[in-house]
Structure 1
Amino acid sequence: MSETRLHLAALFIAAPGVTPPPVRTDASESAPEQIAAYGAGIVWRARFCVACAPGAGYRWNGEDYPLAADFSGDLRLAYVSCNGEETGDMDRALSERNAMWARLQAEHERAPFALLLHGGDQIYADEVTQGHPLSDGWPERIPRAPRPAELADLRAHLRARFFERYAALYRAPQFAWLAARVPSLMQWDDHDICDGWGSLPSSRTCSPVGQCLFEVARESFLIFQHAARDGDLPARFADPEGAHLGWAVRRGDLRILAPDMRSERTRHQIMGEGGWQMMDAEAARTQTGQSLLMSSVPLLGPRLSLLERAMVLVPRMQKYEDDLRDQWQSRAHRGEWRRMLELVRDLARASRHDIVAVSGEIHLATRAVMDLGDGLYLHQLVASGIAHRAPPRLWARVLDLLSRLGEAPLAGHPITIERIAGQGGYYVAERNYLVLSRCAGRWQAEWELEDSGRSAPLPIP
């Protein structure tokens, strides 16, 4: 994205032997190039540009695709996360699974979105390890020293399963329709690899099987979520070598930051040195207007460390410890959490505007505010998930109770969990997505909730 043009990529999945037609704009014609081959299909990509102006769009295979590419005035963005479930996701009735996608499609037809932000867990890959002798027992039981030929066979198995899952999700009519008309920006989370990646013991993630799984998931993430490969990452990525996959885009008075919280994650850190270098550089940059920070796990929340400690003491609950270790609020990440919050405070002070963090991951809708001092605030907006069914309402009530205890990881900067307008509790157990809009220079947020409907607009200073 530049000041005058949108740099886009169209992704195609075709049967072997079939070449997709070129993408045409008013200024150019772009022939697709092959970027990956699988037994069941070939993945193609066409890169092209459109002007950041009213009436922008492209033409493909005899059909016109309009884009809301004018970022200079009023603007609408949608945010989604958690597009699936851990088990049986591909067996669900499509009308039920994609109900919120259908609602999002209808909303775009009424009032177009300029961008679709995907905050993590775009696929649920947890079942891809099934069906192969090396990974059938993942992560509890895996071989210590598989032979190279066995690992090569596992890689082929995993590549085929990732392809199958992405292809099935992308052919869903509502998703395919939206993806062709709204440019997507995607950030990954654990289920794009496997449940709890990085919070699992290193004996699993650093094993030959674990590394094979990560390498295939990473390749698939780049291909299907960014239309890219190693060696040709889009300019938005902070590290051209891809040691971490954090990215940033800027257009006028809008900046969107998406640090990578999975590539360098371990049980003892959320981001590695590359990720922190990216964020430190952004904190030193002045940005007018609005900054959106995509944090795949919520940056603000209740005192989950108390729940984490209790789970460790109860044997039957220890299997959930990895889920809580995934959070910024985990006891294992307390120092790093403070570092990130201090960095967000620096971001706000450098640009003299509030910071908006958007997150998914928890399968609930909620919001929180942190006072950054000097009249500045961090607004946390959580929208999760677009397809994952909501957890029991009891879990929402447990989080409600924890939120009443208060939390202040930075002295003098308390965190307050706030209600979404019209809701009795702080956490809403319904499927949902988030709409961020700028009208006459002022931003606001609205949640679309599956049962409750539309929340009243929340002004964002």
Structure 2
Amino acid sequence: MASGMARRALGHSGFEGEGRHYAPEFTQQDIPQHANGVGNGPHVQSTTDGLEVLCGPLLNYKRMSGEQTDNPVWHGSVLVVTTPGRRPDALRLSCVGPVRNTGMTNGHSAPRDQAFSGVRLFEDPRKAFWRFEIELPFGEEERAWEYTIPMMTSANGSRPNMDKPKRFAVPSKHESMRIMFHSCNGFSVGTDEEAWSGPALWNDVLRVHDQQPFHVMVGGGDQIYNDSVRVSGPLRAWTDISNPHKRREYPFGEELRAQCDEFYFLNYCRWFSTEPFATANGQIPQLNIWDDHDIIDGFGSYTDHFMRSPVFRGIGGVAHKYYLLFQHHIPPPLSTFTTDAPQTTDAQGPSGDSVQMRDTYVMTTQQEDPSFIIGKRPGPYVEERSRSLYCQLGKRIAFLGIDARTERTRHEVNYPDTYDLIFQHARRQISASRGEIKHLVLLLGVPIAYPRLQWLENILHSPIIGPIRFLNKRFGVAGGLFNQFDGGVDLLDDLDDHYTAHQHKKERKQLVLRLQDLAKEQNVRISILGGDVHLAALGRFYSNPNLNIAAENDWRYMPNIVSSAITNKPPPAAVANLLARRNKIHHLDSETDETLLNLFDKDPGAGQPGVKPKTGDGNHATMPSRNYAIICESHSHEGGSQTNGTNGMNGINSVNGTNGNGLNGHTTNGDHATTFIPPKNTREPLHHGEENAGTTHPAAGGIARTGLAGLNGLDVTIRVEINPSDREGHTQGYGFSIPALDSGAYKGNGEKW
């Protein structure tokens, strides 16, 4: 809606390919003075000349439109959070030129620019949220764009030069996006943040971005850690209540809601303004799905009667409000749950809670962004509908992010009808591409191809825990073993979050089988992203080797890229080594196997002075060190084949030829895929793109394209921290490639379909 208002105000009708019409000069009078909303907001007027910014700017990617035309359009938004009482001037957007000529270092903008007006999403006496929806054309080559919002100043003086232009990159209309994936971007309660050099890996992200720009950064959940609300925040008194029954019945009145609202808001402002994360927020477009720490640790996975307590319902609503504003740039509900207002205990009416609406303005959404797949009914503990995401990341890659937190309970991740909506939408969109989409990147907050931990669940659920719980309650024995909420074993909420937990076993299997059907029907490779577990790994589903289906033709082959955490501390090496020992070859059914790849040929920085070992000698499957992932097309489609091309800052290097040829002349796609003989031990490479996976793989650098995965495959790099004491966050790269899918070739055992 905002973008349409901006276009009408600016007097232009949209893009017209390479020769699109640029907006005329923009004035303050052109800004729409009233968007549809409820409430008048605070009666204050800023007396300062500058726009006092509390947080931002935050850049988001939304979607493409016109994907199947010659003139596709990029849609995104910029969010700034300001002090109330002043309407910002228009955002100005300029095309700087081709990335290969301009790079990602900010310079002088091109003289021609566009202007986009800001729309007020929310305002109360403390803050105002302004969204600028921006649109721009995909061009014949990768381009750098700059935006600026005039007169921006830091409200507390901590961030100088805020009015400096921010630069981001958009791929050509012939290419797919270069993706950065991260998760667990924060610290658990009690972590010595200085000992881990703070968010140091974001320095590495920005270094790589300067060399070869990211077009989107996907947040896999826990973009912020709000757990301290129970330690140093307004829930401390509630947490200290020793009686679980009294804790469950504790009211969540307006006073406590207002305190929690303030806490979540300030925590978002603090963390999203922390460098170097703040710099990345302003110049790499975000695409996010939330998880438990965006609310509070374990939210959704405690016992049902405890999750339905007023305090959990209350903080669920507050966290959801700021998740929508900060991470999706959309207005929140009119009000959130309190025990003081009966109308907030169910889906609120159009007026919401009058107490919460006092001196407050909330924009009302007339039309949801088409990138959202919205559930049919509210979640059980957050009384709002789930928001999964579908969009296209350039020419050939589609993205599907499943909201696996809003509807989550201890026994169910998503409602069955939500899965139906998600698969119907994805199937419709992929079909509409008429074969252009070759790869579907699926985001799940938690890994789905991962070692089983049912043996540990059985121990923690066993009768031996009873006496320990009694001693804990009476004498404080084993205090770290039990959580502060329902008195349950603390580790169980993490285990219950896993798709591999026994209570999610059926749901997990049905999800994987439906993904297989989608991949086979649409002839699209599905690769899965997962975080949460604070280590790096690569899980894979694949056809039982007895079926004799090469990975290039195997719709069951679905890699699960596990990248976590970019900021939080990793588990001890002993835990990672134990998981690696549990890396069995599992059978989803008679036709589908799964296991982790032995990806890590050596520890990061092995042999360097002062670098400690990360894993045991026998562990090549799980890496307990902070990390993030890079995903991009293996082969360049821009300007034909390239062996030492010049696209991007440092060029794109296709290794050993084009047309899908990989190392040693092997063809990685098409009928010659059968030249690769799969190993007897499927923890080893299943196709050419997994050969030499690790530090010696051509994709390990994360910059040059390898060509190993063929015409429509992907190169993947997991960049792993070498030394947590290094505040610059230097990393070691581990690479592998993922082939595209040609599912129409083989039924199995050499038979054609």
Which residue of 2 is the match for residue 434 of structure 1? 629
Decide which of 518, 525, 533 is 1:347's aligned counterpart: 518
**1:365-444 to 2 correspondence within 5 Å?**
365-372=536-543, 375-376=554-555, 377-403=557-583, 405-423=584-602, 424-438=619-633, 439-440=635-636, 441=711, 442-444=713-715
Which residue of 2 is the match for residue 249 of structure 1? 391
Contact 2:722 2:732 in 1 (8 A): no
Distance 1:321 1:22, change over 3 A: same
Equivalenced residue count is 457
Which residue of 2 is the match for residue 131 of structure 1? 234
The letter of the residue matching 1:449 is: V
Which residue of 2 is the match for residue 327 of structure 1? 498
The letter of the residue matching 1:111 is: Q
Structure 2: unaligned runs, 5 residues or longer = 1-62, 95-112, 151-162, 333-363, 377-383, 469-480, 482-488, 544-548, 603-618, 637-710, 724-730, 740-753
- The question of 1:308 aligning with 2:477 is answered no
Contact 1:51 1:69 in 2 (8 A): no
Moved more, 27-36 or 186-195: 27-36
Q: How many percent identity over aligned positions?
A: 24
Whole-angstrom distance in 2 between the partners of 1:397 and 1:443: 29
Decide which of 281, 292, 317 is 2:441's aligned counterpart: 292
Distance 1:47 1:347, change over 3 A: same
Distance 1:88 1:17, change over 3 A: farther
Contact 2:719 2:734 in 1 (8 A): no
Contact 1:446 1:457 in 2 (8 A): yes
CA RMSD of aligned residues (A): 2.5
The letter of the residue matching 2:399 is: I
Contact 1:359 1:380 in 2 (8 A): yes
Contact 1:256 1:291 in 2 (8 A): yes
Distance 1:106 1:141, change over 3 A: farther
TM-superposed deviation, 1:28:
3.6
Which residue of 1 is the match for residue 369 of structure 2? 234
Whole-angstrom distance in 2 between the partners of 1:329 and 1:170: 32
Which residue of 1 is the match for residue 133 of structure 2? 47
Distance 1:199 1:138, change over 3 A: farther
Whole-angstrom distance in 2 between the partners of 1:39 and 1:390: 40
**1:85-100 to 2 correspondence within 5 Å?**
85-88=187-190, 92-93=193-194, 96-100=197-201
Moved more, 325-334 or 38-47: 38-47
Decide which of 109, 112, 122 is 2:223's aligned counterpart: 122
Whole-angstrom distance in 1 between the partners of 2:375 and 2:620: 44
Moved more, 271-280 or 209-218: 271-280
TM-score, length basis structure 2: 0.57
Distance 1:458 1:126, change over 3 A: same
Which residue of 1 is the match for residue 309 of structure 2? 207
Which residue of 2 is the match for residue 169 of structure 1? 271
Moved more, 173-182 or 31-40: 31-40
TM-superposed deviation, 1:104:
0.5
CA shift digits 1:133-152 (9 cap, x unpaired): 774348956545556xx511
Contact 1:35 1:228 in 2 (8 A): yes
Superposition misfits of 4+ residues, deviation over 4 angstroms: 137-147
Whole-angstrom distance in 2 between the partners of 1:382 and 1:12: 32
CA shift digits 1:100-152 (9 cap, x unpaired): 011101111111000000000011111224334774348956545556xx511
Which residue of 2 is the match for residue 111 of structure 1? 212
TM-superposed deviation, 1:37:
3.6
The letter of the residue matching 1:202 is: D
TM-superposed deviation, 1:272:
1.3
Whole-angstrom distance in 2 between the partners of 1:392 and 1:46: 44
Contact 1:292 1:358 in 2 (8 A): yes
Structure 1: unaligned runs, 5 residues or longer = none
The secondary structure found in structure 1 opposite 2:81 is strand
Give the structure with higher Rg (CA): 2
The letter of the residue matching 1:386 is: I
Which residue of 1 is the match for residue 605 of structure 2? none
The letter of the residue matching 1:407 is: H
**1:13-52 to 2 correspondence within 5 Å?**
13-25=81-93, 28-37=114-123, 40-52=126-138
TM-superposed deviation, 1:173:
2.5
Which residue of 2 is the match for residue 356 of structure 1? 527
The letter of the residue matching 1:451 is: I
Whole-angstrom distance in 2 between the partners of 1:229 and 1:320: 35
Contact 1:35 1:44 in 2 (8 A): yes
Distance 1:216 1:425, change over 3 A: same
The secondary structure found in structure 1 opposite 2:135 is strand
CA shift digits 1:23-73 (9 cap, x unpaired): 112564223233234665332221111222333524213543332212522
CA shift digits 1:405-451 (9 cap, x unpaired): 33223332010211224244210010000000113244110011001
The letter of the residue matching 1:293 is: L
Decide which of 145, 162, 170 is 1:57's aligned counterpart: 145
TM-score, length basis structure 1: 0.92
Whole-angstrom distance in 1 between the partners of 2:116 and 2:182: 29
Decide which of 157, 167, 178 is 1:66's aligned counterpart: 167
Contact 1:55 1:66 in 2 (8 A): no
Contact 2:181 2:220 in 1 (8 A): yes
TM-superposed deviation, 1:358:
0.7
Whole-angstrom distance in 2 between the partners of 1:380 and 1:79: 13
Which residue of 1 is the match for residue 732 of structure 2? 454
The secondary structure found in structure 2 opposite 1:422 is coil
The letter of the residue matching 2:714 is: W
Distance 1:378 1:142, change over 3 A: farther
Distance 1:165 1:293, change over 3 A: same
Moved more, 159-168 or 237-246: 237-246
Whole-angstrom distance in 1 between the partners of 2:591 and 2:530: 24
CA shift digits 1:86-108 (9 cap, x unpaired): 2146x834981111011101111
**1:118-197 to 2 correspondence within 5 Å?**
118-129=219-230, 130-132=233-235, 135-137=238-240, 143-145=247-249, 151-197=253-299
Whole-angstrom distance in 1 between the partners of 2:599 and 2:325: 36
Contact 2:563 2:629 in 1 (8 A): yes
The letter of the residue matching 1:337 is: R
Moved more, 256-265 or 304-313: 304-313
